[in-house]
Structure 1
Amino acid sequence: MIMEQRLTVEERLTLKTGAFGAVVLVSNADPGVVALFRESFAASGALADASGLVKDALTTGPLPQLPRTSQLEIESVVLPALGRAVRILREKSPADVEAYRSVVLTAADRVARAHDGVTSAEAAVIDQIRGALTEPA
């Protein structure tokens, strides 16, 4: 049985960058001022539902610094962070890999559904997120 190992500050930040960044990607896919409030609330609820190591990583330490200039720039930071987060968890706490994937995808889905249902742009971003979270064993 593989024992859970503690995450470094940098590893926690990678998990946060992926999770929080996924929310930003979906939110930016169909922007709107009213939607932003609803989406933020929906995402925070999903991230708060995490447990164990994943919850600890997402709720402690500094917030990630995400680019703000373009969706492509955000993708270039967030999608690789999601893949790294899965690899970190696979190495240090394999039992938490699915929990992380689930929390990120649930948050992304809740953001998309928070205002007038899921648009095709939001669905495409969620597919990108899902792909980034799928690492070969």
Structure 2
Amino acid sequence: MAGKSDFTEQEWEQLRKGATGAGLLVSVSDRGFFDSFKEASSLAKHLVGARKDESQLVRELAEQRPTGFGLTASPDEVENETLGALQGSVATLRIKAPDELESYRAFVLELADTAGKAAGGGDQAEAGAVEKIKSALA
């Protein structure tokens, strides 16, 4: 099992940004003021639950505070940086921790799905964001 100590600071930040950015990407794909609060709350609950995951990597990522984006981040910025972070994370995990790759993918997709369902989602914009995340994780 791999954890934070197996990665450089830059690699760890990329793993974190990809994971938390996935939930944020789905959230900003269909912006609604009250929906954003529901989605943020749902993501926070999911992260707390993931602290009991079998994967050490997922547990340690879930224990960290979300990172990477400020309140003023544009949807395009969130999308570009999240997808880039996910692609970089997959490449890093393939080299350093291939046994953790599927756990990371599942964790990221669960975060995205959680955000999509939090506000009664499921619209085309959110589905499109999830498809982009899946593509970046491939």
TM-score, normalised with respect to structure 1? 0.84
Cα deviation code 1:40-92 (max 9, x no counterpart): 122223333143123214434x7533263422222221101101111111111
| Rounded Cα–Cα distance in structure 2 between residues aligned with 1:9 and 1:45 | 26
For the aligned residue pairs, the C-alpha RMSD in angstroms reads 2.0
| Rounded Cα–Cα distance in structure 2 between residues aligned with 1:91 and 1:25 | 26
Contact persistence 2:21–2:68 (CA under 8 A): no
Matches within 5 A, 1:16-95: 16-48=16-48, 49=50, 50=53, 51-60=55-64, 63-66=66-69, 68-95=72-99
**More displaced 10-residue stretch of structure 1: 88-97 or 47-56:** 47-56
Query: Which ranges of 4 or more aligned residues in structure 1 deviate by more than 6 Å?
Result: none
CA deviation after TM superposition for structure 1 residue 15, in Å: 0.4
Contact persistence 1:66–1:77 (CA under 8 A): no
Unaligned runs of 5+ in 1: none
Asked whether 1:133 is paired with 2:137, we answer yes
| Rounded Cα–Cα distance in structure 1 between residues aligned with 2:116 and 2:107 | 14
Cα deviation code 1:13-52 (max 9, x no counterpart): 0001101111111000111222122211222233331431
Report how many aligned residue pairs link the two structures. Answer: 131
Contact persistence 2:24–2:115 (CA under 8 A): no
The amino acid that maps onto 1:40 is A
Change (3 A) 1:47 1:90: farther
Asked whether 1:101 is paired with 2:98, we answer no
| Rounded Cα–Cα distance in structure 2 between residues aligned with 1:54 and 1:126 | 19
| Rounded Cα–Cα distance in structure 2 between residues aligned with 1:66 and 1:109 | 19
Change (3 A) 1:27 1:116: same
CA deviation after TM superposition for structure 1 residue 116, in Å: 1.8
| Rounded Cα–Cα distance in structure 1 between residues aligned with 2:57 and 2:40 | 23
